[in-house]
Amino acid sequence: MEKFNVFASRLIPKEDYVCSGHRACQGCAEALAMRLVHKVLGRNTIAASATGCMEIISSPYPETAWAIPWLHVAFENSASVGSGIEAGLKALMRKGKIPKRKINVIAYGGDGATVDIGLQWVSGAMERGHDMIYVCYDNEAYMNTGIQRSSSTPLHAATTTSPAGKAIGGQQTWKKNMTEIMVAHNIPYVATINPSYPFDFMRKVKKAAEIEGPAYLHAYSCCPTGWGSRPELGIQLGRLAVETGAFPLYEVEYGKYSVQEKVEDFRPLKDYVKLQRRFRHLTDDQIAASQERLIKEYKLLLKKEQMTREGD
């Protein structure tokens, strides 16, 4: 991490701590996001993993991908285990049992493990103020068990437990805004990250690691298997998600918002949804209604930026 301050492709370290040979599906942008996170965090890192795709693709022998200490716990509690690791290290350092040095403690989970079953545990870890990073790899459904809806699944998306049929057309609720829930915890750093924007991504991970206290990162993670998109389109979908307003890139540092990759003219949401089979039943009206709401939320985000930056 200390090795680079300027972000350019040739300056990015070659070392990987989530190594090749894992068994993620073709085109998995979530695995890419995880790899980038650990490229930045480097060797002095301990990871606590929730049950989920990133656990199952990276851990079973002989496809084990980890080159750092890694603990798989249960589904809901990686944030609590991360809290324990951080507090344990702190106690050992205070008593002089281990040398004082910076060790990154990261806990991560998918959207199910973060916004559904793990919500109270993430909330507790952030509220207690542990010096750790929590990363939510949000692929917008329970992909590991075979594509069931989560509360992070976008409106109308078809999953196996929110199927698009005659009576009901896919997910019936708006995506839960976990980033704002974390902002409401008044922690030092909250950011959304997207592997389609690798330099912004790595800058934010670095900041999350350097800042004292808890940091929360919400990672956009395209899942070709679950979304019914072509595997080679992962990066393009990530860009489209930002350009259509579906997944804004922003960070909140000590309560101050700043929006990255600002969108002036929104791309039609249709460009984004038409590339994904999970949205194929959508009508033009439904797409228009979603876009309208997304733009409204985006404008609110810009207002928050403006308000929290007044006097800067």
227: Cβ–Cβ under 8 A, 6 or more apart, which residues?
A: 139, 140, 157, 237, 276, 277, 278
Q: Among residues 15, 16, 60, 74, which is the contact residue for other proteins, using CB under 8 A?
A: 74
Is 162 among the residues that bind other proteins (CB under 8 A)? yes
Is 8 among the residues that bind other proteins (CB under 8 A)? no
Q: How far is CA 35 from CA 38, 92, 181, 205, 216, in A?
A: 5, 29, 26, 12, 17
Is 300 among the residues that bind other proteins (CB under 8 A)? no
Q: Using the minimum distance from each CB to other proteins, give the nearer residue, 237 or 282.
A: 282
Is 71 among the residues that bind other proteins (CB under 8 A)? no
- Considering the complex, what minimum distance in angstroms separates the CB of residue 115 from other proteins? 8
Identify the sign of the CA torsion 62, 66, 69, 71: negative
Q: Which of residues 32-61 bind other proteins (CB under 8 A)?
A: 51
Give helix 29-41 / helix 234-243 axis angle, nearest 10°: 80
- Considering the complex, what minimum distance in angstroms separates the CB of residue 177 from other proteins? 15
What is the full DSSP assignment across 1-52? -TT-SS--GGGS----SB-TT--PPTT-HHHHHHHHHHHHH-SSEEEEE-SS
Is 165 among the residues that bind other proteins (CB under 8 A)? yes
Looking at the DSSP bridge assignments, the partners of residue 47 are 70, 106
Q: Which amino acid is at 220?
A: Y
- Distance, in Å, from the CA atom of 230 to the CA atom of 269, rounded to the nearest integer, reads 18
- For the record, the structure tokens of 7 come out as 């972000």
From 147-155, 180-188, 196-204, 291-299, give the range in contact with other proteins by CB under 8 A.
147-155
Nearest to 77 by CA among 51, 46, 106, 47: 51
Q: Using the minimum distance from each CB to other proteins, give the nearer residue, 76 or 131.
A: 76
- Distance, in Å, from the CA atom of 59 to the CA atom of 184, rounded to the nearest integer, reads 34
- For the record, the structure tokens of 270 come out as 């249709």
- Distance, in Å, from the CA atom of 242 to the CA atom of 225, rounded to the nearest integer, reads 21
- Considering the complex, what minimum distance in angstroms separates the CB of residue 9 from other proteins? 38
Is 161 among the residues that bind other proteins (CB under 8 A)? yes
Q: Among residues 148, 177, 258, 286, which is the contact residue for other proteins, using CB under 8 A?
A: 148
- Distance, in Å, from the CA atom of 279 to the CA atom of 27, rounded to the nearest integer, reads 19
Q: Using the minimum distance from each CB to other proteins, give the nearer residue, 110 or 248.
A: 110
Q: Which of residues 232-291 bind other proteins (CB under 8 A)?
A: none
Q: Using the minimum distance from each CB to other proteins, give the nearer residue, 129 or 169.
A: 169
Q: Using the minimum distance from each CB to other proteins, give the nearer residue, 148 or 260.
A: 148
Q: Using the minimum distance from each CB to other proteins, give the nearer residue, 160 or 306.
A: 160
- CA-CA-CA-CA torsion for 87, 89, 92, 95, nearest 10 degrees? -70
Q: Using the minimum distance from each CB to other proteins, give the nearer residue, 145 or 306.
A: 145
- Considering the complex, what minimum distance in angstroms separates the CB of residue 8 from other proteins? 41
From 91-99, 109-117, 180-188, 272-280, give the range in contact with other proteins by CB under 8 A.
109-117
Alpha-helical regions (H) of the chain: 29-41, 53-58, 78-94, 111, 119-128, 178-183, 198-210, 224-227, 234-243, 269-273, 284-309
Q: Among residues 35, 39, 130, 149, which is the contact residue for other proteins, using CB under 8 A?
A: 149
From 3-11, 123-131, 158-166, 291-299, give the range in contact with other proteins by CB under 8 A.
158-166
Q: Using the minimum distance from each CB to other proteins, give the nearer residue, 89 or 117.
A: 117
Binding region for other proteins (CB under 8 A): 51, 72, 74-76, 112, 116-117, 119, 142, 145-146, 148-149, 151, 160-163, 165-168
